[in-house]
Amino acid sequence: MAGRDLRTFFEPKGVALVGARRNLGFGYGIPVILKERGWADRIYLVNPSVDELHGLPVYHSVSEVPDPVDLAVVLTPAPVVPRMLDEVGERGIRFAIVESAGFAEVGETGGSLQAEAEAIARRHGMRVIGPNCVGLINTANGFSTVEVIEEAFRPGPTSIIAQSGVFGNCLLDLLHEYGLFVSKAVTLGDRMDVNECDMLEFLKDDSETGSIMMYLEGAADGARLKETLAEITRLKPVMVLKSGRTPAGRAATVSHTGSLSGEDSLYQAVFTQTGTLRAGNLENLVEMARIFSTQPGPAGNRLGIVTGSGSLGVMATDTAVSYGLEVPPLPAGVAEKIRGEAPDWMNVKNPLDVGPSWMFSKALEALLEEPDIDMVLAITIIPYSVFKNLRENGLDGRSWFGDIAALRMQYPRKPLVVCAVGHSDFVSHMGEIAGPNVPIYISPEPAARALAAHHHYWTWRLGPGDGGFRQCY
């Protein structure tokens, strides 16, 4: 299959870096990052006028690069890219990533340059990612053709396909702050050859990829996109941020990655028919990805809410119900466990507002245990002054809200998400207590909406057919 053929991009035996250079830029930085990641003996720097860089030898042409080498990363100015691709092909290298900009995205001249490069690649039977991209990262082996921060190399179950280079790069800069860790990420740029469908097919069979985030401006091939999505979403959730929703937005995409994005309603139909989760915006994409990368599928749509603030419980309920979840009356089993110890002022209902009592942890566990509750939202809130007092007295969020990470382990089959509202110290403290396997949101609505998206995806995936997929964004 075409998809499987792409593995060399992520697991090359040897890599020629064509256009390594002494001045700041990709050609300077990428060798550094690969060296740091233990790739020094598998990268071959190429530049006709340099002999040594970062303590590594520099070859004067691709033809001089020794074996084994099966991938070239091209970093030269656009005008020489066709010639470089020819040399890469002559050297017997069949995979190339072209990061150089100045092709289809800049109009006619760039377009013919790209056609020239494409013809050369085809003649050599090469697969090419780019041009106008930052290539890819594979956290499993530390291979990266993009200068990203240390934290981006921590492996996780999510893979990313992004059309835009800068945006893909900056996404990798920020995802770790949301507890999102990546298996593979690839930016496609002007898609001279490899497109999002090729990558989706590859990731479908990639055992390290559990879910997929995609940023798309326009499909390279609409019919194939639909077919590909239909296959993959039965196996892995695919979340897509598709821009160019409006005519003005579409006009802007043309000059960016040279893609024509077409009518939004067509995309919307493709996504909904194939069970592809569409994010309304960047924040939605991230908030969704966090639940899909950590939580099991729910058994049904019955949401149990425990909260330290009645207001936030109401907001979560509004959102959950609006997106098709049920917030049922508190099951008798849970009510019994709570009532005995509950203070007079507590309304033992769902959402369960435990207020300033010490019953948060008990209530949370009761909801996780309860068979008539399918998923749980824990809304943690505490005035910062009270939080500081707790800490001064040797207590912390764990004393007040329970050992959420441990509860996650204890009840592994029920989705659990946490909302923490307040001072950023408190929020990050709660992030630690929730641990890496529970997503934490800073307001109740995104938490409830992510749960709803999660439910609708799993209902669709495990359900009988194509009908009834519900978008939540």
- Closer to its own copies at the Cβ: 111 or 297? 111
Q: Are 212 and 188 in contact (CB under 8 A)?
A: no
- Closer to its own copies at the Cβ: 268 or 443? 443
Please give the biggest Cα pair distance in the chain.
82
Min dist CB 316 to its own copies, Å, is 9
- Closer to its own copies at the Cβ: 140 or 166? 166
- Closer to its own copies at the Cβ: 350 or 459? 350
- Closer to its own copies at the Cβ: 112 or 246? 246
> Which of 193, 63, 217, 174 is CA-nearest to residue 131?
193
- Closer to its own copies at the Cβ: 101 or 405? 101
Min dist CB 141 to its own copies, Å, is 20
Min dist CB 286 to its own copies, Å, is 9
The DSSP element (H or E) to which 20 belongs, if any, is: none
Min dist CB 185 to its own copies, Å, is 13
Min dist CB 229 to its own copies, Å, is 21
CA distances 289 to 77, 213, 301, 460, 473, Å, are 36, 7, 19, 17, 13
- Closer to its own copies at the Cβ: 18 or 33? 33
The 10 Å CB-count burial string (b at 16+, else e) for 424-462 is eebbebbbebbbeebbbbeebbbbbbbbbbbbbbbbbee
DSSP string for residues in 138-157? ETTTTEESS---GGGGSEEE
Min dist CB 21 to its own copies, Å, is 14
User: Distance between alpha carbon 186 and the CA centroid of its chain, in Å?
Assistant: 11
Six token digits for residue 95: 């995979």
Alpha helices in 281-403 (DSSP H): 282-292, 310-322, 332-339, 360-369, 384-392, 397-401
CA dist 136 and 147 (Å) reads 10
Min dist CB 255 to its own copies, Å, is 4
Phi, psi of 278 (to 5 degrees): -100, 125
Min dist CB 436 to its own copies, Å, is 18
- Closer to its own copies at the Cβ: 76 or 319? 319
Min dist CB 98 to its own copies, Å, is 15
Angle 108-123/81-90 helices, nearest 10 degrees?
Answer: 10
Amino acid identity at 410:
Q
- Closer to its own copies at the Cβ: 60 or 339? 339
Q: Is the peptide bond prior to 298 cis by the omega test (within 30 degrees of 0)?
A: no
CA dist 257 and 125 (Å) reads 24
Alpha helices in 346-442 (DSSP H): 360-369, 384-392, 397-401, 404-410, 424-434
Beta-ladder partners of 129: 97
Min dist CB 389 to its own copies, Å, is 6
- Closer to its own copies at the Cβ: 126 or 330? 330
